[in-house]
């Protein structure tokens, strides 16, 4: 039966943002988690980033899903419960859903309520018979949320976009362990992972000529002003992103252009010229590196698909040590 108007359930603590910003500004060096980029405007800016010629991950992963979505869906099971982490605009999701049966269940999880509501409504018009159960939540807190198991259905997590790269390796292992608990021993994981490549390609991807990534980074300060009544001068911060080859990650920072202070309530956080707020990491992994990382969280690689230029990988994993297919196309 069609769900005429899927309404997301909400599971966010309104104090999380305030707590995280205060804790992050007290740190040395200062840092704020990247999940707070995604208010409505930040989510819109990220959609614009995905259209830039420099930002290859979106179009590359989309092409892989378009070409191999049927194979991926077959491995997941065509009547599975598909749980998407950080669903956002869910533009890639139809490339998997179109190969699932009408009795499959789709559960998108995203931190931005407006994006979640809009994308779920759009998908429901495309797949009218499919049951959809949106959940507005931080997927890093999966243990706090009960996702009802559908009798006889395998649960498979879909995690595109190489968002796993925003976690440190230790955080990634913790998240992958939580995903394993969520889906259970018979469940699966379909995940997109960005690959290590030249620093020139990576630096360009996070410093697009149109300035969308810079606006996306700086929007965090605007959100802090609007929602937390923080006193700051956003014009005195600049976007800076670069590939840290030693750590195998892109780092994104907001750089203070002068000596200044951010005031939050009764606290004042001093900045020297050049001091930064570290806002995001994006780790890159070779296929072997990611397989090793996943194995340490209890996952076993079953298949890998990649583009012709080797820019991006999509992996399917399960918790069984069965002989992997190791597709490489």
Is 292 among the domain residues? yes
Is 54 among the domain residues? yes
pLDDT tens digits for 89-130? Answer: 899 999 999 999 999 999 999 988 888 999 999 999 999 999
Is 265 among the domain residues? no
DSSP 8-state assignment for residue 157: E
d(CA 75, CA 316): 8
d(CA 154, CA 100): 12
Is 273 among the domain residues? no
Under 8 Å between Cβ of 284 and 249: yes
pLDDT tens digits for 172-228? Answer: 999 999 999 999 999 999 999 999 999 999 999 999 999 999 999 999 999 999 999
d(CA 157, CA 142): 12
d(CA 183, CA 181): 6
What are the distances in angstroms from CA 146 to CA 176, 181, 234, 291? 17, 12, 39, 28
Is 86 among the domain residues? yes
Is 72 among the domain residues? yes
Residue 74 pLDDT greater than 60, yes or no: yes
Is 2 among the domain residues? yes
pLDDT tens digits for 241-291? Answer: 999 999 999 999 999 999 999 999 999 999 999 999 999 999 999 999 999
Is 122 among the domain residues? yes
Q: What is the pTM of this model?
A: 0.89
- Which pLDDT score is estimated for 310? 96
- Domain residues for the domain of 145 are 1-234+285-329
- Which pLDDT score is estimated for 141? 82
- The larger pLDDT score, comparing residue 18 to residue 153, is at 18
At 96, which CATH number? Answer: 3.40.50.150
How many domains are contained in the chain?
Answer: 1
């Amino acid at each position: 039966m069609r769900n005429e108007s899927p309404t997301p359930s909400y599971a966010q603590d309104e104090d999380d943002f305030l707590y995280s910003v205060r804790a992050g500004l007290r740190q040395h060096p200062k840092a704020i988690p990247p999940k707070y980029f995604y208010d409505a405007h930040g989510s819109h800016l990220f959609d614009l980033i995905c259209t830039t010629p420099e930002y290859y991950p979106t179009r590359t992963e989309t092409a892989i899903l378009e070409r191999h979505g049927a194979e991926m869906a077959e491995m997941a099971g065509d009547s599975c419960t598909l749980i998407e982490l950080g669903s956002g605009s869910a533009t890639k999701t139809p490339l998997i859903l179109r190969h699932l049966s009408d009795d499959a269940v789709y559960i998108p999880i995203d931190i931005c309520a407006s994006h979640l509501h809009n994308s779920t409504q759009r998908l429901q018009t495309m797949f009218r018979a499919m049951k959809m159960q949106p959940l507005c939540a931080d997927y890093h807190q999966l243990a706090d949320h009960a996702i009802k198991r559908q009798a006889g259905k395998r649960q498979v997590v879909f995690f595109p976009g190489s968002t796993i790269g925003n976690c440190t390796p230790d955080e990634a292992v913790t998240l992958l362990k939580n995903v394993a608990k969520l889906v259970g021993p018979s469940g699966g994981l379909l995940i997109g992972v960005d690959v290590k490549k030249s620093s020139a390609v990576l630096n360009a991807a996070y410093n697009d000529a149109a300035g969308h990534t810079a606006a996306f980074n700086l929007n965090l300060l605007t959100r802090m002003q609007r929602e937390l009544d923080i006193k700051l001068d956003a014009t005195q911060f600049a976007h800076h992103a670069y590939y840290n080859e030693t750590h195998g990650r892109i780092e994104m920072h907001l750089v203070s252009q002068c000596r200044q202070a951010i005031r939050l309530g009764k606290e004042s956080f001093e900045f020297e010229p050049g001091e930064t707020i570290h806002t995001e990491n994006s780790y890159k992994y070779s296929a072997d590196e990611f397989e090793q990382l996943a194995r340490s969280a209890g996952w076993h690689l079953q298949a890998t698909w990649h583009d012709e230029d080797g820019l991006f990988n999509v992996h399917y994993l399960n918790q069984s040590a069965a002989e992997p297919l190791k597709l490489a196309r």
